[in-house]
Amino acid sequence: MDYVLKTEALTKTYGRHKALDNFSMCIPPGAIYGLVGKNGAGKTTLLRLICGLQEATSGDYTLFGISSRKHEILGARKGMGAVIETPAIYLDMSATGNLKEQYRVLGIRSFDTIPQLLKMVGLENTGWKRAKNFSLGMRQRLGIAVALAGNPRFLVLDEPINGLDPQGIIEMRQLLLDLNQKYGITILVSSHNLDELSRLATHYGFINNGKMVKEISAKDLENSFRKSVRIEVTNGKALAAVLEQAGLPHKILAPNVSEVYSRVNISKLTSALEKYQCEVLSIKEQEENLESYYVNLIGGVSHE
């Protein structure tokens, strides 16, 4: 398969520090690829490298199958748009003014497609209002419109929902889904917000200390989530004894609460516990989620 982006042993060092260390990833066409990692993991370094803003120390990447070492990479990069760190917009200009400026930079002569582009990002009714009077979410969406000006097939976004209010987050989510599903744009998005990412991503790359720890599709990830049952009883020792006898893998979470990592036959369990005069107070099915998966994979807490 021709990946939209493939990095091979990409390494970037600053002095002795390896910000990216033999980093390899593959983004298939049509994906929303979530790049997950804590502060300082190397996300922005990776995005800056693939956008040509910095040079790798070693390793290579291909964009639409074209090696970064080839001259043709300049042409391939025209098929990609990016918003890295803060959106590249002029605050004293309106949304239309900003797009006209970008069209000029790209050598696009006709401004006819600007209204359509503004509609795509939900800024069609902003008129003469200057970007400095926009909400943060509107500025982010204008940044995305600027990145979309050259009609790219691949969009790279660094933390697009950082600092947005709940409404802004919902609008950004809808925009990214529309760009992907209606317009077929492949998206690489870095984010700290795992809950939000889990509503969008079709693929994940988990990065830590500049290394790719795990690359997995959302489907495979969901299939790998462990399912468990949390049981609260009046006598934790009795519960532990019954679970041991039944050979059910479990973990004691509190004196009277255990988590069982297997299917549980509730009526059998209840009658076994009755022999110890132990009552079941509650039973709750649980499923691992992206956040607990991440914590297990990388360690530590996932929200910085």
Among 10, 19, 157, 176, binds ligand ATP (CB under 6 A): 19
* Binding span for ligand ATP by CB under 6 A among 11-19, 92-100, 166-174, 295-303: 11-19
40 binds ligand ATP (CB under 6 A): yes
- Applying CB under 6 A, the span of 14-22, 116-124, 136-144, 193-201 interacting with ligand ATP comes to 14-22
Among 5, 6, 37, 243, binds ligand ATP (CB under 6 A): 37
Q: x/- site string to ligand ATP, residues 44 to 83, per CB under 6 A?
A: xx--------------------------------------
Number of residues in contact with ligand ATP, rule: CB under 6 A? 11
The minimum distance between CB 154 and ligand ATP, in angstroms, equals 19
Would you say 12 and 37 are in contact if contact means Cβ atoms under 8 Å apart? no
User: Which of 4, 10, 25, 41 forms a contact with ligand ATP (CB under 6 A)?
Assistant: 41
Backbone angles phi, psi at 21, to 5 degrees: -130, 100
CA 102 to chain CA mean position, Å: 27
Closer to ligand ATP by Cβ: residue 86 or 133? 86
Among 6, 43, 141, 250, which residue interacts with ligand ATP (rule: CB under 6 A)? 43
**Residue closer to ligand ATP (CB basis): 14 or 128:** 14
Binding range to ligand ATP, per CB under 6 A, among 33-41, 126-134, 137-145, 280-288: 33-41
What is the rounded CA–CA span in Å between residue 286 and residue 232? 13
Q: Is 98 in the site for ligand ATP (CB under 6 A)?
A: no
Which residues 150-189 are close enough to bind ligand ATP by CB under 6 A? none
Q: Which is nearer to ligand ATP, 49 or 142 (CB)?
A: 49
Q: Which two tokens stand for residue 12?
A: 């970037």
- Interface residues with ligand ATP (CB under 6 A) are 14, 17, 19, 37, 39-45
